[in-house]
Amino acid sequence: MIGRPRHLADDGLSETGADPRLRVDGLDLEAVTTNVSRLGGDAQRFARRLASAQAAGAEGSDLLRGAVALAAWRSGVLALRDEALGRLREFARHGEGRGVAGAALELDPDDIEEFAARQVDDCFWWPGRQRWNGYVCAVGGFAGLGGAWIEPPRDGRVLRAVGGRPSGGPPVAASTTSDPAAFAVRTGDTWWRVDADVWGSRLTKTGDTPAPSAAVHTSRVSLVTRVDSYLAWVHVRDVA
């Protein structure tokens, strides 16, 4: 089976173009967009989400700069997760901010408070996850179609589970629970690290076999592989 990497939260995402008049005072938007691409984000998605946030009322400098962080995170930039979560918690406290955050993330403003709260303990949560039976994203893919791998992945292992909790270990300090989850997977003789959250993912070739303690699966999150697929799927089992 051949498929393409994707995040299921992107299904149905608006593809309308960004406003060509988009401007953010005091910000080199072209440089920011270049950095979004360099850090693994989708530049067009970033522009669309920022334009939507601006149309939703992100006029003040604080709201606009917060919207930039949220739009970049929404476009797949894992490196801005912490910054975006900090802004999100601020925005969730009042109606204007919830409207801007909802536009930047393409979520219903009424879901913003719950989304912000759940992201602290579950970096893969979004309102539509249940519809996909806990599947969040597919990573890797066949190199011949623009993916990363020339052999199907196998031996998926959890390195850091949702909420920043090391698999098989005690909870980490609350200040680090916003980290994305991390996994290891093997293609042929090569090991890869997979960092991921609800919006983005990053693959890094490691060359090292994960330590034995890293091979313990948690009861909630796993990296699912199949012998007939070049994709590895992140799956989270919701608590009953």
The 3-state secondary structure of the chain reads CCCCCEEHHHCCCCCCCCCCCCCCCCCCHHHHHHHHHHCCCCHHHHHHHHHHHHHCCCCCHHHHHHHHHHHHHHCCCHHHHHHHHHHHHHHCCCHHHHHHHHHHHCCCHHHHHHHHHHHHHCCCCCCCHHHHCCEEEEEECEHHHCCCECCCEEEEEEEECHHHCECCCCCCCHHHCCCCEEEEEEECCEEEEEEECCCCEEEEECCCCCCHHHHCCCCCEEEEECCCCCEEEEEECCCC
Residue 173 predicted with pLDDT over 50 = no
Mean pLDDT of 174-197: 83
| pLDDT tens-digit readout, 99-139 | 999 999 999 999 999 999 999 889 999 999 999 999 999 99
Predicted pLDDT at 40: 93
Confidence label for 208 from pLDDT (cuts 50, 70 and 90): confident
Residue 69 predicted with pLDDT over 60 = yes
The percent of residues in the chain predicted with pLDDT above 70, rounded, is 81
Residue 216 predicted with pLDDT over 90 = no
Confidence label for 23 from pLDDT (cuts 50, 70 and 90): low
Mean pLDDT of 13-26: 60
Predicted pLDDT at 57: 81
Predicted pLDDT at 209: 77
Confidence label for 39 from pLDDT (cuts 50, 70 and 90): very high
